[in-house]
Structure 1
């Protein structure tokens, strides 16, 4: 069963003491070299204040994990003298091999990195084994990692934004869908199947996407069709522009939203999602 985004900050807080003092095993660089870079991968970062952040863009995740692996391989096996950490992060994915979760922990005051592997029972999903590995690195390298982590705090999704994506209606969201173009329609998340942002920064979606998404809440009252080069709403012509690309018709999302006076749209650049709310019909 695919993993979903849940209240992982709580999980991190509960599991950290066990993880720090879990079973020590020899460091195996071969295990570190195994790829964790699945489609839809997310890095969840927790700092020493308990605040959570998410690194979601695939290129940024790949860069982050590659840097971590390279730093790990330059270190030497170590033991942890005490358990005060400043940063911990998980690599989250819709698919994880061998029913394992991996937590990464940074101990700046000791110049130590840690990998903690949680092996889960294939049937119950309960953790059945915890193995910890520690690697000592130079103080200069540690400083570079800390700077990178602090930059993430300033740049990427804070926890409450991710909660909005995941939990506004209590509906689970696939990790792979987080960065796809889509909309929140009255707080429900919909991911576009056919959409793009053109050279002018205009978000255009297919008629199929529009009709499928809006039918879920409005039936066919918002249905749009393409006839003789124009867009019509229930047989009535509109001023919504359109573009025919290889037989598929696209419309500017904002133009379509503005056609219906009771809808309001904002664009969230960080989430790459349009936020559309039904503000009701205005009365003059």
Structure 2
């Protein structure tokens, strides 16, 4: 990684840290979810950066991939556990960070994911395996009386790509990728009071273009043109022309051009917390860009 590329990652991280804290401060009972999402995304663009992916706002048993819909009338309520997951990009270099806002009495659960992240970061260095990082996360969360979410993982980052190798599990596994100096990675422990596994819900608000193919449907062509500048980074259904949108999206998904990210949730009545930082692996540890 060059010095110039490192500075892009660091600047993206500084912007992400500031704006996610501002977003967290906006969350309170009665506040509109859509208002928070639109405000945070606008602040990213006003900073001169790009939105690497739509702001994820996932409530309670939902762990990831939710965001506001167009005209969303949901409001935050007392007792909610709110995950904010943000991506900021500068020239494609991404800062991916998340935190949990507690509107109830979930402090111990919030601390479990946060402490697991701190322990994982302390373990990062060249030569350490992803499985060893996962074991550190699992031990910390289980030691606090909760379960890690076994089928959600951290990941590598590359220009304009939010999920690349290596995969960083939240549970101990044998082996796994070996961390190398210069890698950009995001580690994101999830702690849950539920089953320790998430499944797909029917709700899909976030999409990503995964292939380039011709389409005939005019509304599908319009959507493809509108997301071309994303260069493969995810986008929100809310950002698109709403005219004939359902038909266009279903056509693009069916043809393998778009992938839709279902909201991921644990069992009903459970609560999930999340913490995440982006970092660059260095010779003797890691530089956390989003701290």
TM-score, normalised by the number of residues in structure 2: 0.25
Larger radius of gyration: 1
Higher normalized contact order (CA 8 Å, seq sep 6+, divided by chain length): 2
